């Protein structure tokens, strides 16, 4: 009887346990096919120099798996020029040298002050953790302005290097990461890496079948305990 009660309670607790977290990578999701970016939970674009985390961003007009004519680089650009987002197709430079490091995108601002932007779009409500880095990836790098935004509120310091923060998001809410020129836009190629962890499709909330298992488990345990109390001694 004790075994049954323990098993029933254990089954109910397992049914209520949060599901494993899901993960997303900006680097992995930036891929080009048929002149379009195939990302499902990220958006890649640009905005004016005054950009401060607004949801709406502009889309690139040139999106290619060979950029420009280089089979080793994918890109998204404005009319074939900057600003842009670039990704190596498997050929990387030695660590610490320009332009491409494994696992990093390259973001570059535009000549008219445009900022390059990567947005994460929350697929469901929940708590998300963001971890990544901005790095200087140019031959003679200039200073740049980097930022992360949640609902127009800045999340990180304006400096290169690693960053991390958490944010509670609603489904469809966007978190933006931007690189802008701090003066001269030349030599502003900036490495960008971002990994996101958040709730999976179940979101840690028991589904109807799990609720049924929980109710049956606790109900069965309660029934056995009542029988035990009513049994003659």
Note the pLDDT tens digit of each residue in 44-56. 999 999 999 999 9
Note whether 50 and 148 are same-domain residues.
yes
Confidence of residue 191 (pLDDT cuts 50, 70, 90): very high
Structural domain contains residue 95: yes
User: How many separate domains does the chain show?
Assistant: 2
- Whether pTM exceeds 0.85: no
Structural domain contains residue 204: no
Pairwise pLDDT comparison (20 vs 75), residue with the higher score? 75
Note whether 230 and 117 are same-domain residues.
no
Structural domain contains residue 26: yes
Is the Cβ–Cβ distance between 188 and 142 less than 8 Å? yes
Over the chain, what is the mean pLDDT?
82
Report in angstroms the alpha-carbon separations of 171 from 57, 79, 125, 206: 18, 32, 4, 18
Pairwise pLDDT comparison (22 vs 2), residue with the higher score? 22
Note whether 135 and 50 are same-domain residues.
yes
Is the Cβ–Cβ distance between 187 and 139 less than 8 Å? yes
**Cβ-based neighbours of 88, under 8 Å, separated by 6 or more:** 72, 73, 74, 100
Pairwise pLDDT comparison (32 vs 1), residue with the higher score? 32
Going 155 to 169 to 197 to 42, the CA torsion angle's sign is negative
Note whether 130 and 220 are same-domain residues.
no
Mean pLDDT of 163-185: 95
Note whether 96 and 8 are same-domain residues.
no
Note whether 6 and 64 are same-domain residues.
no
CA dist., res. 124 & res. 57, Å (int)? 21
Residue 11 in this model has a pLDDT that exceeds 50 = no
pLDDT of residue 68: 83
Note whether 106 and 191 are same-domain residues.
yes
CA dist., res. 17 & res. 151, Å (int)? 31
Tens-place pLDDT, residues 118-145:
999 999 999 999 999 999 888 788 889 9
Note whether 9 and 98 are same-domain residues.
no
Quote the domain boundaries for residue 49.
Answer: 21-198
Note whether 219 and 105 are same-domain residues.
no
**Cβ-based neighbours of 148, under 8 Å, separated by 6 or more:** 130, 154, 155, 156, 163, 165, 175, 176, 177, 178
Note whether 2 and 30 are same-domain residues.
no
Is the Cβ–Cβ distance between 85 and 76 less than 8 Å? yes
User: Helices 2-16 and 208-230 sit at what angle, rounded to 10 degrees?
Assistant: 160
Note whether 68 and 159 are same-domain residues.
yes
Structural domain contains residue 206: no
Tell me, what CATH number does 186's domain have? Answer: 2.60.120
Tokens of 195: 């990994």
CA dist., res. 131 & res. 166, Å (int)? 9
Pairing status of strand 190-198 against strand 153-154: unpaired
- Report the 10 Å Cβ neighbour count for 60: 21
pLDDT of residue 144: 94
- Among 4-13, 90-99, 168-177, 208-217, the range with the most confident prediction by mean pLDDT is 168-177
Note whether 191 and 231 are same-domain residues.
no
pLDDT of residue 201: 80
Least trusted range by pLDDT, from 14-18, 21-25, 31-35, 175-179: 14-18
Structural domain contains residue 207: no
């Amino acid at each position: 009887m004790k075994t049954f009660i323990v098993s029933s309670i254990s089954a109910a607790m397992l049914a209520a346990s949060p599901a494993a977290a899901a993960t997303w990578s900006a680097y992995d999701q930036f891929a080009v096919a048929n002149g379009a970016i195939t990302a499902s939970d990220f958006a890649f674009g640009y905005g004016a120099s005054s950009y401060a985390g607004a949801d709406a961003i502009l889309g690139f007009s040139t999106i290619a798996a060979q950029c420009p004519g280089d089979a080793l680089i994918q890109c998204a650009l404005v009319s074939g020029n900057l600003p842009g987002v670039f990704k190596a197709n498997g050929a990387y430079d030695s660590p610490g040298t320009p332009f491409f490091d494994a696992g990093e995108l390259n973001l570059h601002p535009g000549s008219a002050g445009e900022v390059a932007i990567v947005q994460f779009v929350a697929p469901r409500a929940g708590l998300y953790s963001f971890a990544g880095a901005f790095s200087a990836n140019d031959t003679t790098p200039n200073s740049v302005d980097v930022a992360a935004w949640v609902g127009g509120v800045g999340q990180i310091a304006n400096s290169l290097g690693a960053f991390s923060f958490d944010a509670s998001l609603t489904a469809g809410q966007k978190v933006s990461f931007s690189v802008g020129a701090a003066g001269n836009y030349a030599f502003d190629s900036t490495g960008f890496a971002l990994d996101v962890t958040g709730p999976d499709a179940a979101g840690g909330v028991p589904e109807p079948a799990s609720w049924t298992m929980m109710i049956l488990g606790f109900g069965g345990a309660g029934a056995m305990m009542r029988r035990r109390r009513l049994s003659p001694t």
